[in-house]
Structure 1
Amino acid sequence: MHVKDLPGSHVIVKSLEPTDATLMEAAMIAAHFSKASLSAQVPVDYTLIKHVHKPSGAKPGYVIYDHQTTLFVTPEKAAVEALEVK
């Protein structure tokens, strides 16, 4: 997962069949740790890892992807903190 068209963290869900709740939580984490952390209705794209590629010579962290689906989430700091592993 990655926020669409903005700098931010990549989030990986290690499941081939994640629940809708898991997808929304992962999207919220991606939105929270991005330049859109204070925005509402942040578009977050997700796809399978096999559809994510780093172009040769690209900057660290830069990837391109296809076959994506977009979720819209509003990052909530309290909700993200509640998901953190203690």
Structure 2
Amino acid sequence: AELREELFQEGYVKRSKFKGKPPKALPPIRYRSSDGYDIRVGRNNKQNDRLTCKEAEKTDLWLHVKDITGSHVIVTCDGEMPPDRTIEEAAIIAACNSKGRNSSRVDVDYTFIRNVKKPNGSKPGMVIFTNNYTITVKPDTELEEKLRV
């Protein structure tokens, strides 16, 4: 239902196809890293926007697969760089929540939220970012399920 609402807002379908009031937004998918850091993942473009631009703190870490459609991943870390293991686990979660989930290797960009900007008038989920690092990971759905809260 949330996806239908997004299709309507982007002009792909007409409102008459859907009856009733718009659906209540679902919360982001939650994970906890092996080191105890909270990780949140957007479920769709609209939620990616809300998570990245409104809910996350400027000191949180933001991850997204490189050059592939996927979810925004936020690691709550209070401005400190989390341990390498947490960054790797968050990158695996980003890879598993993207179109690259069936690839053997996926590049994932990460940076602090303060380096992520939403251009004026851009579509939901579209952001630009600077001062990023890239990590290459193998998508691991078993680890992703294990870390889910």
* Cα-Cα RMSD: 0.6
Could you tell me which runs of 5 or more consecutive residues in structure 2 were left unpaired when the two chains were aligned: 1-62
2:147 maps to amino acid: L
| Structure 2 SS opposite 1:47 | strand
What residue identity is the alignment partner of 2:118?
K
For residue 33 of structure 1, what is the aligned residue in structure 2? 97
- How far has the Cα of 1:21 moved from its partner? 0.5
Q: What's 2:131 paired with?
A: 67
**TM-score, with normalisation over the residues of structure 2?**
0.56
Deviating above 3 A after TM superposition, structure 1's stretches of 4 or more consecutive aligned residues are none
State the structure with more CA Rg. Answer: 2
Q: CA separation in 1, counterparts of 2:104 and 2:137? A: 7
What is the aligned partner in structure 2 of residue 46 from structure 1?
Answer: 110
Structure-2 residue corresponding to 1:10:
72
Q: Which residue identity lines up with residue 73 of structure 2 in the other structure?
A: V
In 1, Cα distance between the equivalents of 2:135 and 2:98? 15
- Which stretches in structure 1 are left out of the alignment for 5+ residues? none
Aligned-residue offset at 1:40 = 1.5
Name the SS for the 2:107 alignment partner. strand
Separation (CA, whole Å) in 1 of partners of 2:146 and 2:97: 15
Identity %: 51
